[in-house]
Amino acid sequence: MKLPLSLKVFTEQDTIDLANDFSKILKPGDIVALNGQLGAGKTFFIKHLLKNFGIDYVNSPTFSIVNEYSGTFNINHFDFYRINRLEELYDIGFEEYLIRDNSLTLIEWADMIPEVLPKKRLEINFLVNDDFSRNITIRRIS
């Protein structure tokens, strides 16, 4: 997979294929920020992405703020949807999750608290079109 990438997806299978391809460039220590409106398919993408790392049950972390899974390596699955301000993230030990370099960190609704995101990261944006297809862009920020 070459980055940056911009792709229009029409079916769930298109998204699954993209998630499978994307999994090949990920390694422990990476941080992936995912942005997009409600129902854009962020959790769906992560669910299929993580199947590549041996994780079958992926739930939305909206309520729990963070889900931890252990598969091929450890995964921190964050969701900033319910976070109101930066201090709340510090309070739950967000930074401690990031410095564990043997784990992969995925963050849904990352753009709700942009100031906390590390400078070096991967970013995926989901845009829902009027015909319900999605534009998905993936880029590396460093």
Q: Packing angle between helix 12-23 and helix 42-51, nearest 10 degrees?
A: 50
The least distance separating another protein from the CB of residue 16, rounded to whole angstroms, comes to 14
Residues forming contacts to another protein in the complex (CB under 8 A) are 37-39, 41, 43-44, 47, 57-60, 62-68, 82-85, 87-88, 91-93, 128, 130, 132
134-141 vs 5-9, strand pairing mode: antiparallel
The least distance separating another protein from the CB of residue 54, rounded to whole angstroms, comes to 15
Report the residue number, 22 or 134, with the smaller CB distance to another protein.
134
The least distance separating another protein from the CB of residue 47, rounded to whole angstroms, comes to 7
Report the residue number, 3 or 70, with the smaller CB distance to another protein.
70
Report the residue number, 96 or 115, with the smaller CB distance to another protein.
96
d(CA 49, CA 55): 9
The least distance separating another protein from the CB of residue 7, rounded to whole angstroms, comes to 19
Report the residue number, 5 or 44, with the smaller CB distance to another protein.
44
Q: What is the CA radius of gyration of the chain?
A: 14
The least distance separating another protein from the CB of residue 44, rounded to whole angstroms, comes to 7
Alpha-carbon torsion 67, 54, 132, 126, what sign?
Answer: positive
d(CA 38, CA 22): 22
How many other CB atoms are there within 10 angstroms of residue 10's CB atom?
A: 12
d(CA 119, CA 7): 24
Report the residue number, 5 or 127, with the smaller CB distance to another protein.
127
